[in-house]
Amino acid sequence: MKKNKEQEIAALAGIDSEDKETDTKEAVEVKADDSDKDTKTEEEEEEEASFEEDSSASKKRRRRRKKQAPKRKPEEVNIVKELLSLIVYIGFVILICYLIITFVGCRSKVDGSSMNPTLDDGDNLWVSKISYTLGDPKRFDVIIFNYDENTTYVKRIIGLPGETVRIDEKGDIYINDKPIIDNYGKEKIYENNRGRASQPVKLGEDEYFVLGDNRNGSTDSRWASVGNVSREDIVGKAIFRIYPFSGFGRVR
């Protein structure tokens, strides 16, 4: 019986020692886990500290930049933008107008009655410059040409370069000794209004003979003060009458 009790006591002691060893192992593992947790926390704290230092440094840089940069109110910025856009717009409009007036066309005002009945005194015309950039002037075109530095005339082309023009006693016009049909003149040319065209007028390679539609009330190529019109003196072709509005339309 004693032996059996001793064996039971020894068995219980062995179980206790095993439990103690198990508890000890678990405690060691828990401590190890706790140490790992502590280590991770320290690393995280270091990372957070470095992040805070970086963010504070970046904030300081931003503050310095704000201090150094000139402060502008939103209203001032908007006004500057509007002024710049307005300047660009005005410059663009001026450029377009310059290109149109120089290369495309211009406005001209009729002064006098030399082109009656086609045009009247005070008519405003749109003159195409590009017409003669792309092609040559044609017979019966109404043109604007420079009379002198300050004056332009509006007349109708009758004779072309290289042709010979003559007006007979009846007022009929001849080109190279052949009569032309002229439906633009207000009336027949009087004998004493033939001027130098009472004799054959030979035109050069870049010269034109022009007449006003009011044939007896026009100063044109019949008179030495005007003479033959050089191609380089032609400003352009009269295309439209733009004013008065009652006469608005194509010039023929």
Beta bridge partners of 243: 124
Q: Which of 129, 131, 155, 237 is catalytic?
A: 155
Provide the sign of the torsion angle of the four alpha carbons 248, 150, 141, 213, taken in this order.
positive
Maximum pairwise Cα distance, the chain: 176
The verdict on whether 114 is a catalytic residue reads yes
CA-atom Rg of the chain in angstroms: 52
Phi and psi at residue 174, in whole multiples of 5°? Answer: -120, 135
Give SS3 for 238. strand
Q: Which of 114, 128, 131, 221 is catalytic?
A: 114
Question: Who contacts 40 (Cβ-Cβ below 8 Å, separation ≥6)?
Answer: none
Question: Who contacts 205 (Cβ-Cβ below 8 Å, separation ≥6)?
Answer: 161, 162
Residues labelled catalytic: 114, 155
